[in-house]
Structure 1
């Protein structure tokens, strides 16, 4: 369910109260609880009717016929995107607490810094904290070339400063669609002009930084290439995978597994196996370069079924990249139940990522 329903202010207030009460108690929420505990100035019967409509919209559901209602993944998504109110007072307290506990002195190694930061993040959030080791910002770009090939494709050739070559095939239709009718000779000329422009703009940049560039901000002379350049960014992004030969530091499993959502042994076992034995699968989930549409987006939130890995489908993952010289090199993440204190956790993850970015300068 992807379309977000149009909710009245009353619907939004009752949904928000229901979700926040469930987050606090882990108990299905009834209309009487909302009527008595929240100053919404509506009757219990009205709240019950609204809850029925929210259930019909897929935002709430009843685990049992006689029980109250609990949020669905879709309900949590709408809550995070539209109803969550950032509490600056609590955020400041969390940031201060985190900064007081994080090491202020220079530490002897990346490993020590990552280990300490993960442990503190887990303790303050109450969930499973994960931090990846910093990856090399990768080779910088020495030369870039776009070449039309006979099969109706364009080859993007990247040459790094260490003379390693990466070749990426792109459908030529995505380039030709932005032009008038061009013959092969004209396409070759256009590709050379664009190659010259890209070399001027990108030479000396890290490949991982190129993958997250916002092409909406290119020179006006080349703005008609915007869509094609965004496709290039996506291709580079999907082609360049971070190294997964280093472990992800994990802390807080024991504490997090005390949550009622993790009461089923089989579910716990699959999550533990993923965290301890299959960390390579986690890399593409936790450490992801931002796409061109969200280059200014600091936090990534994957709720329930939005997570691509089956053991995480009952969980929420909140993550943020940390950087060296504005290039993403690693990620800070927290895994917990979908019944999560979202505002607090977002603040902690974001603050930890900013701290590591500063520490690695």
Structure 2
């Protein structure tokens, strides 16, 4: 753990770099912040912080810039500061703006990204509400001819999927009924993931003589549920990234835009962890190469206590963390209050 003086120097460097985007030298810190020590002492502390991995020294400058490790320490300390989460005036303002689009859930979430982007001046992302992972309501196998079967799948959302597939050997109607009844008994109410576990642990053991036909049907069932679960992504303020000098680098800018344009990547990063209601990933902590120069701050939103989506802000690691943490947290609180009041099941 860093001693108090090193922490004060590091915080001063981070705050200065967030506002200026320029590598920070000891003279800048000495003039800008009253740390009660000389410029030479600050320079020595900065050298130690560099050795400890909290500062990096760009080749073209004598100053230093914070590392991901420094931002992580800074953010972890911010999260312990109650001021980062309380701003009742702003909370009421956000709620007022959210209520303008509270008629339908999708509109509410889309409007949330607009508000979040406007407040923070960064890019806001959200996953449209997934009220419930789609589950099986009913399965029916219907013979068309000797070697073709119609599989009718009804999901809990009422969507019906019909698929025809061929079989190698004819199956009598009574056996098809047995398989249909068995699948309904074992798979009703299960999600895709749960179906896989049930098939491996129960179905094949109890219906081994029909193993081949069931193995052919399961991919059809999974595909039907996946089509129902197509996830929609909202993004706002995408071009805000160009307001930051580090993204005047064309390669960095293209990398960021390629991430935003790739829906699968956005969904993957947002759904990576839905267990934590509030999450911050910094720079290299991100698993996707395109955003290893970015930080992502997200919060979940819920219905009846169940997480149904995620919303957040992405920007350069030189992010105004205090401002963004406060904004994302307040928006999530308001969003959950509105959903609880107007969209209860």
**2:86, 2:326 within 8 Å by CA — same for their partners in 1?**
no
Call closer, same or farther: CA 1:65–1:264 in 2, change over 3 Å. Answer: closer
Q: Which residue of 2 aligns with 1:332?
A: 311
Give the distance between the partners of 1:257 and 1:159, measured in 2 at CA: 53
Give the distance between the partners of 1:97 and 1:54, measured in 2 at CA: 41
- Alignment match of 1:250 (pick from 222, 235, 239): 235
Give the distance between the partners of 1:242 and 1:346, measured in 2 at CA: 35
Alignment of 1:118 with 2:97, yes or no, is: no
- Deviation string, structure 1 residues 65-107 (Cα, Å, up to 9, x no partner): 6421110111101111136645369734433432332225742
Query: Where does structure 2 lack aligned partners over 5 or more consecutive residues?
Result: 138-184, 199-225, 341-345
Q: Which residue of 2 aligns with 1:78?
A: 73
Call closer, same or farther: CA 1:50–1:280 in 2, change over 3 Å. Answer: same
Give the distance between the partners of 2:24 and 2:229, measured in 1 at CA: 42
**1:244, 1:283 within 8 Å by CA — same for their partners in 2?**
no
- Superposed, 1:110-149 pairs within 5 Å as 110-138=105-133
Q: Which residue of 2 aligns with 1:166?
A: 195
Alignment of 1:319 with 2:301, yes or no, is: no
The DSSP-based 3-state class of the residue aligned with 1:257 is helix
Give the distance between the partners of 2:314 and 2:7, measured in 1 at CA: 26
**2:85, 2:326 within 8 Å by CA — same for their partners in 1?**
no
- Alignment match of 1:57 (pick from 23, 46, 52): 52
**2:101, 2:111 within 8 Å by CA — same for their partners in 1?**
no
Displacement after TM superposition at 1:244 (Å): 6.5
Call closer, same or farther: CA 1:263–1:163 in 2, change over 3 Å. Answer: closer
Q: TM-score, normalised by structure 2?
A: 0.69
Give the distance between the partners of 1:130 and 1:286, measured in 2 at CA: 9
Q: Which residue of 2 aligns with 1:101?
A: 97
Call closer, same or farther: CA 1:89–1:357 in 2, change over 3 Å. Answer: closer
Give the distance between the partners of 1:318 and 1:127, measured in 2 at CA: 11
Call closer, same or farther: CA 1:274–1:290 in 2, change over 3 Å. Answer: closer
Q: How many residues in Structure 1 have an aligned counterpart in Structure 2?
A: 264
**2:85, 2:325 within 8 Å by CA — same for their partners in 1?**
no
Alignment of 1:347 with 2:332, yes or no, is: no
Q: Which residue of 1 aligns with 2:249?
A: 264
Q: Which residue of 2 aligns with 1:27?
A: 22
Call closer, same or farther: CA 1:69–1:244 in 2, change over 3 Å. Answer: farther
Call closer, same or farther: CA 1:282–1:350 in 2, change over 3 Å. Answer: same
The DSSP-based 3-state class of the residue aligned with 2:91 is helix
**2:112, 2:331 within 8 Å by CA — same for their partners in 1?**
yes
Q: Which residue of 2 aligns with 1:44?
A: 39
Q: Which residue of 2 aligns with 1:280?
A: 264
Give the distance between the partners of 2:329 and 2:136, measured in 1 at CA: 30
Call closer, same or farther: CA 1:90–1:23 in 2, change over 3 Å. Answer: farther
Give the distance between the partners of 1:137 and 1:40, measured in 2 at CA: 53
Displacement after TM superposition at 1:251 (Å): 0.3
RMSD of equivalent CA atoms:
2.9
Query: Where does structure 1 lack aligned partners over 5 or more consecutive residues?
Result: 1-5, 143-157, 170-240, 292-296
The DSSP-based 3-state class of the residue aligned with 2:279 is strand
Call closer, same or farther: CA 1:77–1:159 in 2, change over 3 Å. Answer: farther
**2:282, 2:295 within 8 Å by CA — same for their partners in 1?**
yes
Call closer, same or farther: CA 1:257–1:244 in 2, change over 3 Å. Answer: farther
**1:304, 1:313 within 8 Å by CA — same for their partners in 2?**
yes
Give the distance between the partners of 2:228 and 2:43, measured in 1 at CA: 51
Q: Which residue of 2 aligns with 1:216?
A: none
Displacement after TM superposition at 1:268 (Å): 1.3
**1:94, 1:344 within 8 Å by CA — same for their partners in 2?**
no
Give the distance between the partners of 2:284 and 2:11, measured in 1 at CA: 21
Displacement after TM superposition at 1:60 (Å): 0.5
Call closer, same or farther: CA 1:262–1:346 in 2, change over 3 Å. Answer: same
